[in-house]
Amino acid sequence: MNHESFQSFVDRHGTDESLWPDTTEGKEARQLLEQSDLAQKILGENKRLFQLLEFAMSVPHPVGLEQRILRRVTTPPERNWTHFLASWILKPALVALPLVLGFVLGLTSTDSSVFVENEITATQFDDHSDLLAISDE
């Protein structure tokens, strides 16, 4: 193992030697660490970097977060007028809409058929009067 592959090994397995695998590669890494100053320097620099990473990723204390979560869980969701409108008026209205439309369309079509029927009767009457006029002549 050379120093480049030692660095690559540390990237994969971390800086805690106790967690390094007991594979051939792990044994070679431990051996190099014992014999080489540069390997020790590499590991030391990596350890320092990742210690600083913990500071770089420090977390602020979340004040009152637990209480806020509990309040949200135990309090039923607020129902304002839009909820009321949606659940009691809008949804039934949407369900009834096709029915109402069908009813209106039905009414409209009945009216037009009556109108057409009247028109036919009127035409028939005109035909009859024409025939009467011809027979009079």
| Residue ranges in contact with another protein by CB under 8 A | 3-4, 7-8, 10-12, 14, 38, 41-42, 45-46, 48-50, 52-60, 62, 65-66, 68-70, 72-74
Minimum distance of another protein from residue 43's CB (angstroms): 9
Shortest Å distance, C-beta 6 to another protein = 8
Q: How far is CA 118 from CA 21, 22, 104, 128, 132, in A?
A: 99, 102, 22, 15, 21
Least Å distance, CB 98 to another protein, is 33
- d(CA 51, CA 58) in angstroms, rounded, equals 11
Residue 53 vs 133, nearer CB to another protein: 53
Which lies closer to another protein via its Cβ, residue 21 or residue 92?
21
Measured between alpha carbons, how far is 58 from 128 in angstroms, rounded to an integer?
Answer: 103
Tokens of 136: 């009079």
